Amino acid sequence: MSTSEARDKFKSYLSQKGLRVTNQRLAIFDAAFAQKEHFTAEQLLNLARAIDDSVSRATVYRTLPIMTESALLREVDIGTGEKYYRPNAENGAPVAQVVCVDCDRIFEISAPFLDWYGNTVASKLGLTAVSQRLQVTAHCNAFRETGACARRC
């Protein structure tokens, strides 16, 4: 799904839910979809303000749930107190995160077995799986040797 397709999908989603297509919401969308890495709400606020300086923090926080509910963004919580967001991949395939504790970068890896695991484990307890998270925290080997993370990290 291209960015412009996603933009259309966002507008459709808003209309369909009876929500209004405002310049602020579009600026937030555009800022989010220009990113290649994960970003926080605060970073998104600054990025969106560069597009439309009338965007406020409150509107960012009110728009993020809309974008995650519509599956345009994915929310990633790595337990640091603040949430990260990222444009969602085309397919809904589950991913695992690898978080480098040296450079705080978040890598994502396809983990197709996650769905199976979640369903299996939940049904053993008489539950029905809704979602699953798999996260690995790791040190950067290059960081340990050279004091700086390599390009990849």
**Residues at the interface with DNA (CB under 7 A):** 15, 18-25, 40-42, 54-59, 61-64, 81-83
Residue corresponding to tokens 């690995």: 136
Q: Establish if 129 lies at the interface with a second copy (CB under 8 A).
A: yes
- Alpha carbons 68 and 81: distance in angstroms, whole number: 18
Environment class of residue 84 by beta-carbon count within 10 Å: exposed (0-12), middle (13-18) or buried (19+)?
A: buried
Helix H or strand E encompassing 153: none
Q: Establish if 121 lies at the interface with a second copy (CB under 8 A).
A: yes
Q: Kindly state the smallest distance separating residue 131's Cβ from DNA, in Å.
A: 17
Find out whether 97 and 135 touch, Cβ atoms under 8 Å.
yes
Of the residues 34, 41, 106, 142, which one makes contact with a second copy according to CB under 8 A: 142
Q: Kindly state the smallest distance separating residue 100's Cβ from a second copy, in Å.
A: 6
Residues in touch with a second copy (CB under 8 A):
77, 79, 96, 98, 100-101, 107, 109, 117-118, 121-122, 124-142, 150, 152-153
